[in-house]
A and B are shown apart, each in its own frame.
Chain A
Amino acid sequence: MSLILRTTLPDFDYLLPSSLDELLALKAKYGERAAVIAGGTVLLNLIRLGFRYDYVIDIKGVRELSAIEYREGKGLVIGAAVTLRDLENNEVVRDKYRVLWDAVRQIGDFHLRNRATIGGNICNPTLQADTIAPLAVLGASIEISSMRGSRRVAIWELVKEGGGLLLDPDEILTRIYIPEPPKGSRGAYFKVWWIAGIAALAANIDNPRERIVRIAYSFAPSPKLVEGVERIFRQEKPLKVLIGDAINYIKTIVTPPSDARASREYREHLVEFGTAYLLRKLLGVEV
């Protein structure tokens, strides 16, 4: 990888398939020699930083990948090429999938969200994929397609421990499936630049036996869903006490990375602060 930043991009061919079959055939043919472009806000920077591809395949010509569909009781299906702006402007996302909406609104900036897509965000976890944590607390799964067929995996399985995607060279992320959220659920996302992102979802707050509390962390390169938080919140103790218990538990599980953007110690501080902030906000607990 060259460290000299170029103003012009190195050579590649641009391909614009107009159907899913055509897209998958191209990806099968060129594999790792081909990069997929949706919004391009990450890819063009990676190419500039030294990643080399012979082909750039634009998935925006495949219309079905730009669709958002909601069916009452079934949930939401989001195409990989749906822009963050479209999600931000979608009333269902805003009202029912608040944690995702809140995260999307904090990604990049207004102009970038007109181009950046959810598929691109998910597939670039090295830069902190801010949509993965909210999708995890919502229990989302993703559809991965190739000419060999389609498979569905939990969003959580996409990023391997230590980074890297589960995708084979001929595979493309095509859709995101989010089930109907728990009734009356609230959600919020806490973000500090490219240092930390925390998603939290809560429902049935007043009834300990049915209380739902889920928390996930968007750390690069591998995000983390903390399991077992729900068990803590099912206890009959004051919420304030439970929040403290949850944070102590989370601190034993979440081990944030140290990198050029922030030290591990600072991220640990943000985990504690951000988790407390979100839980108090969602559970209606005063400091």
Chain B
Amino acid sequence: MRISLTVNGVKRVVDVKPNERLLDVLRYRLGIKSVRAGCLVGDCGICTVIVDGKLVKSCLVLAAEANGSNIVTVEGLSTNMRPSPVQRAFVESFGYQCGYCTPAFVLTAHWITENMVNASDEEIARVLNSVVCRCTGYKQIVDSVKLALKWRREGGER
């Protein structure tokens, strides 16, 4: 079946099978390599993307269900190869180790800065809780989110 997706602002029309996960379509058919497979059962959150403004785990979404939706991945955050403030906050605070979960955390952090500018520590944790980092560098990840929020509140990029 043929579906159409707007991925990072670009409309893409793609033929998919009814049993294909959104994760596989984004990664293998559209070549968006920041979308990665982890557990494939919805536990780890590594495959997180933003669909119509909502954080979702793309391993548990059929591509067919996403027909007509607007999708944002990490590739959509930077402009002209310039990292977004959220991405720079992760660099500044060392919010990554091996990097496998980083796109998922950066997207989650991006959503937090867009939707919960005044989030408390507890609220930040409630959202970040969805993504697992096996290197367990959570402290630095939380610091990155807080730094990104601080920059956001203080008005734009540093």
Contacts and interface: CB of A to CB of B under 8 A. Distances in A.
A111 B57 contact: yes
B48 A111 contact: yes
B18 A111 contact: no
B51 to A, nearest CB: 8
Given A11-B19, A56-B18, A109-B45, A115 B130 contact: no
A114 interface: yes
A45 B41 contact: yes
Interface in B54-111: 54-57, 59-62, 64-65, 108
A10 B19 contact: yes
Interface residues of A, number: 27
Contact of B62 (A7, A11, A44, A45): A44
Contacts of A12: 18-19
B28 to A, nearest CB: 11
A206 B37 CA distance: 54
Interface string B1-21: 100000000000000011111
A109 B59 CA distance: 15
B42 A13 contact: no
A58 B54 contact: no
B19 A112 contact: no
Given A40-B62, A48-B40, A109-B45, A114 B56 contact: yes
B54 A14 contact: no
A94 B97 CA distance: 38
Interface in A26-40: 37, 39-40
A8 B19 contact: yes
A9 B41 CA distance: 12
Contacts of B60: 39-41, 44-45, 112, 115
Contacts of A85: 54
Contact of B61 (A16, A40, A108, A109): A40
A16 B63 CA distance: 13
A206 B131 CA distance: 44
Contacts of A48: 40-41
A190 B24 CA distance: 37
Given A9-B21, A12-B19, A115-B60, A40 B65 contact: yes
B62 A13 contact: no
A12 B18 CA distance: 7
A60 interface: yes
A68 to B, nearest CB: 17
Nearest to A83: B54
A37 B45 contact: no
A14 B1 CA distance: 9
Interface of B: 1, 17-21, 24, 37, 40-42, 45, 48, 54-57, 59-62, 64-65, 108, 126-127, 129-131
Report, nearest first, the 6 A-B pairs whose CB atoms are least far apart. Answer: A14-B18, A111-B130, A109-B130, A9-B19, A114-B54, A14-B64
8 contacts: A12-B18, A12-B19, A13-B18, A37-B65, A110-B55, A110-B129, A111-B45, A115-B56
Given A9-B21, A14-B62, A45-B60, 16 more contacts: A12-B18, A12-B19, A16-B64, A39-B60, A40-B62, A41-B57, A41-B60, A45-B41, A109-B129, A110-B126, A110-B127, A111-B45, A111-B56, A111-B131, A115-B60, A115-B61
